[in-house]
């Protein structure tokens, strides 16, 4: 049987779940994993279902048509795709390879259900590593003057490769507001601090100076409001007074790599839904 994943969001009204699960049931969807959440504050209902078609008697097209009708009626936003049709990622990097390496390793071992369609960078340093994995590398240099053109190139690249998501794996460039808007909900960044602590530059230096006893990393959706986008994952690790700034950085690299990889997996599995500045993880 073919495995499908369906993620949806709609206003939380009486009987939404019954309507929606009834529709799946009537069409013979065999549910293998399910997760719901209703937010009492935002009055929104969120759901993610994995199912297969082993008992489906109608055609899948018929199912799609009927489901679309229900979705319309319930003001639903949804994503429905076969599990094996993996989301396409474009990665953006600068010179540090710890996040990139984690994503590539996990992707190659099968732990990350994605297709990596390319890596773009403002530097050429990581080309050999990327090409070793058989992935196209795009060197898109940037300067203050050429920033608008370079961002045009990024957009063109995303379009050509039909990338679903842009993953900023320590890209170190601030995207323009206009690009952020165009990529809303599709661009994910790893910030090297436990947000909202230590926004902005050199967060490990800031953290060291402040003498915190725990450091962390935050994977979040990119929004025009820098470092304020909805948080997907956060991980932390204890440090003590003996740790130098350089040790903070090394510890931080581990946390960043794991946090970003985890966020990418959750997004790739359609487990992350936006909920007014926050995320729901299903």
- Span from 34-42, 59-67, 68-76, 155-163 in contact with its own copies (CB under 8 A): 34-42
- Using the rule CB under 8 A, which residue among 38, 80, 83, 135 binds its own copies? 38
The smaller minimum CB distance to its own copies, of residues 168 and 280, is found at 280
Q: Which among 143, 22, 152, 167 has a CA at the least distance from the CA of 90?
A: 167
Q: Which of 1, 11, 31, 82 binds its own copies (CB under 8 A)?
A: 31
Told to check if 2 binds its own copies by CB under 8 A, we report no
Cα gap 125→105, rounded to integer Å: 18
CA 171 to mean position of chain CA atoms? 15
Among the residue ranges 66-74, 100-108, 149-157, 159-167, the one whose residues contact its own copies (CB under 8 A)? 100-108
Q: Which of residues 184-203 bind its own copies (CB under 8 A)?
A: 194-198
User: Phi first, then psi: what are they for 265, rounded to 5°?
Assistant: -60, -45
Burial 30-49 (b: 16+ CB within 10 A, else e): eeeeeebbeeeebebbbbbb
Residues forming a β-bridge with 121: 93, 139
Task: Tell whether residue 37 is a contact of its own copies (CB under 8 A).
Answer: yes
Q: Is 97 in the site for its own copies (CB under 8 A)?
A: yes
Q: Is 75 a catalytic residue?
A: no
Q: Tell me which residue of 105, 117, 2 sits closest to 60, measured CA to CA.
A: 2
How far is it, in rounded angstroms, from Cα 220 to Cα 100? 17
Which residues are marked as active site?
A: 227
Site for its own copies, rule CB under 8 A: 14-15, 17-19, 21-22, 24-26, 28, 30-40, 55, 96-98, 101, 105-106, 108-109, 111, 128-129, 132, 194-198, 209-214, 216, 230-236, 238, 240-242, 244, 250, 253-254, 258, 261, 275, 277-281
């Amino acid at each position: 049987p073919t495995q499908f994943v369906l993620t949806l969001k709609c206003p939380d009204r009486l009987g939404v779940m019954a309507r929606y699960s009834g529709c799946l049931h009537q069409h013979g969807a065999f549910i293998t994993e399910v997760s719901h959440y209703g937010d009492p504050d935002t009055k929104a209902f969120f759901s993610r279902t994995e199912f297969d078609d082993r008992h489906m008697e109608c055609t899948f097209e018929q199912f799609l048509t009927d489901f679309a009708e229900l979705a319309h009626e319930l003001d639903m936003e949804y994503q429905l795709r076969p599990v094996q049709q993996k989301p396409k990622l474009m990665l953006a990097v600068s010179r540090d390879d710890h996040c990139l390496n984690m994503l590539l390793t996990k992707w190659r071992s099968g732990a990350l259900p994605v297709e990596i369609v390319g890596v773009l960078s403002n530097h050429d340093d990581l080309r050999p590593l990327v090409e070793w994995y058989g992935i196209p590398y795009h060197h898109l240099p940037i300067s203050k003057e050429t920033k608008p053109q370079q961002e045009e190139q990024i957009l063109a690249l995303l379009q050509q490769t039909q990338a679903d998501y842009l993953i900023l794996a320590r890209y170190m460039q601030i995207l323009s507001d206009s690009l952020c808007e165009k990529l809303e909900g599709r661009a994910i960044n790893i910030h090297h601090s436990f947000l909202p602590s230590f926004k902005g530059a050199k967060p490990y230096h800031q953290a060291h100076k402040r003498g915190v006893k725990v450091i962390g990393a935050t994977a979040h959706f990119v929004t025009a409001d820098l470092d304020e986008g909805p948080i997907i994952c956060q991980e932390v690790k204890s440090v003590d007074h003996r740790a130098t700034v350089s040790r903070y950085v090394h510890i931080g690299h581990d946390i960043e790599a794991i946090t970003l990889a985890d966020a990418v997996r959750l997004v790739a599995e359609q487990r992350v839904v936006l909920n007014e500045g926050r995320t729901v993880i299903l």
